Structure 1
Amino acid sequence: MLKEMESWARKAGRLQMDNFQKNIEIDSKDRKIDLVTEVDKKSEKILVDKISTAYPDHSIMAEEGSNKSNDSRYCWIIDPLDGTVNYVHGFPIFAISLALYKDDQPEYGLVYLPYFDDFYVAQRGQGSYYNGKRIHVDEDYTVKDGIIATGFPYSHQESNESLELFNKILPEAGGIRRTGAAAYDLCQVASGVFSGFWEIELNLWDIAAGILLIEEAGGVITDFKGKTLRMDSEQVVAGNKQVNYRLREILNK
């Protein structure tokens, strides 16, 4: 399964690299800063076509709307280009996120960074891997001595909520990073590079693969209340057990 997923991601990744830092068609969604490109749509079509051919009975949930409901126990969750704004501006942190859910639980997860040709993959019960090497969250990290990653929702121009949360974490953290791609951030937590992550107003396709990568790397990923993430969860906190707990403690003050 993971080999299939890797081959699909590579094909979509080649399309993205062929068009990176070139003139492409750009549009916006409900907000002017929420961008979508022809590359997003073509990448999604590649992935959806591959899945539909290989597993025609499976359901599909994809960011750009290529959804298919077959009343199946299996559902593919696709973000064809996480970090579109980065991609448009020539910043190389962008990723393809692909996950297979069974009965609303992630069974396989893959995040591919085409610019670096890096794969992060996980299978339930089998661990998480970066380019074939087993990875783990860093169990020794605390909020105070680690790097915490976050992102700002597209609504940040209309709401101060994300800034208020940022201001709660900043005095407590060793450092804060904002890469613009949640899928990538979760991979860095799973790899023990970032100690933790939090964000609001995320969609399932942003984090579907990352959820399994974190869990299989020995980490904890929940909502702000410590509850298991559901299909409709929008708040995310991740890290080792103590970082997850402490971040939630700060965010919920």
Structure 2
Amino acid sequence: MDGTRPAGDELLKIAVEVARQAAETARRMRADGVSGVTTKSTATDVVTAADRAVEREAVATLRAARPGDAVLGEEYGGADGTGPTGGAGVRWILDPIDGTVNYLYGLPHYAVSLAAEVDGEVVAGVVRNAVTGDEWTAIRGGGAYRAGQRLRSSTETDLGKALVATGFGYDPARRAHQAGVLAELIPHIRDIRRFGVASIDLCLAAEGSVDAYYEKGLNLWDHAAGGLIATESGLLVDGLAGAGPGPDLVIAAPPALFGPLHDHLDRLDAAGGP
């Protein structure tokens, strides 16, 4: 490769092809039965043979399409590369099956999430629900889309009427802290929803199916693609006190809701605990 910075639409085209293939592999393997189930950080944090197989397949496809790029995957870390070697500064950020517990139980909410980062900035992303085929995409500066329709986030301005999505960690002490935060927050919002897939949560917020979303403990592969989709739909995506979205906290909300939700989460120490 010649080192020319690739366009977002070029990278998105590759991302969509890879995500669709990966989602079909995940769906097919689930239909054949879950196997190779082990655990990671805790006894409830599961990983399956499909997580590993889907990531290997997706990485191989990315390598074939753009052999000089780096890949950051959930199951194998930096794959077999330590950084971009083609001079274009591209890194792919992959979650092969986001929502593995849903996958394990046969719930129809798990996704392939794939983002393309150029020189440290996410410029393209796709999230595909492997069961339903629902697919959300975005290019930085080019908007977010689902099934050809441009996404517009919620127009709700009253936090008390906001439906808010969230998620919980696998460590029991972290879940206890998060439950305490939620117990104090819920009187100030309409209600809560918990689907178990951070990437889809961000996309649901992007399309206005929920009004806002927050969660502690996300890794980059959990929110890289969904975060871009949310941003391009008009949501503010950040952490507490301008810290940026990351493991401490990710908040995605319309501008009118972001401040009030942020302030409640800050007061409740949502980024604290284990």
Q: TM-score range by the shorter chain?
A: over 0.9
Structure 1 residue 66: Cα displacement: 4.6
Structure 1 residue 159: Cα displacement: 5.5
Considering only aligned residues, what root-mean-square deviation do their CA atoms show, in Å? 1.5
- Alignment length, in residue pairs? 251
In structure 1, the residue matched to 2:109 is 93
After TM superposition, list the pairs within 5 Å mapping 1:52-201 onto structure 2. 52-67=63-78, 68-71=81-84, 73-157=89-173, 160-201=176-217
Structure 1 residue 168: Cα displacement: 2.3
**Among the aligned pairs, what percent are the same residue?**
30
Structure 1 residue 157: Cα displacement: 4.6
DSSP-derived class of the 1:64 partner:
coil
In structure 1, the residue matched to 2:55 is 44
Q: TM-score, normalised by structure 1?
A: 0.94
- Give the conservation status (yes or no) of the 8 Å contact 2:84–2:91: no
CA distance in 2, matches of 1:214, 1:10: 20
* 1:191-214 deviation line (CA, Å, top 9, x unaligned): 011110111011010000011101
DSSP-derived class of the 1:225 partner:
helix
Between Structure 1 and Structure 2, whose CA radius of gyration is higher? 2
CA distance in 1, matches of 2:265, 2:177: 11
- Give the conservation status (yes or no) of the 8 Å contact 1:142–1:195: no
DSSP-derived class of the 1:161 partner:
helix
Residues 1:223 and 2:243 are matched in the alignment = no
- Give the conservation status (yes or no) of the 8 Å contact 1:142–1:243: yes
CA distance in 2, matches of 1:156, 1:237: 22
Moved more, 48-57 or 84-93: 48-57
Residues 1:12 and 2:22 are matched in the alignment = yes
Moved more, 90-99 or 162-171: 162-171
- Give the conservation status (yes or no) of the 8 Å contact 1:122–1:129: yes
Structure 1 residue 78: Cα displacement: 0.4
Give the ranges of 4+ consecutive aligned residues of structure 1 lying more than 4 Å apart after TM superposition.
Answer: none
CA distance in 2, matches of 1:211, 1:167: 26
CA distance in 2, matches of 1:158, 1:49: 35
- Give the conservation status (yes or no) of the 8 Å contact 1:99–1:209: yes
DSSP-derived class of the 2:257 partner:
helix
Partner residue of 1:234 out of 225, 248, 265: 248
DSSP-derived class of the 2:64 partner:
helix
Structure 1 residue 233: Cα displacement: 4.1
Residues 1:32 and 2:72 are matched in the alignment = no
Structure 1 residue 100: Cα displacement: 0.5
Structure 2 unaligned spans of 5+ = 1-9, 268-274
- Return closer, same or farther for 1:109/1:125 CA change in 2, 3 Å cut-off: same
Structure 1 residue 77: Cα displacement: 0.6
- Give the conservation status (yes or no) of the 8 Å contact 1:48–1:66: no
Amino acid at match of 1:238: A
Moved more, 79-88 or 149-158: 149-158
Q: TM-score, normalised by structure 2?
A: 0.87
CA distance in 2, matches of 1:80, 1:92: 16
In structure 2, the residue matched to 1:248 is 262
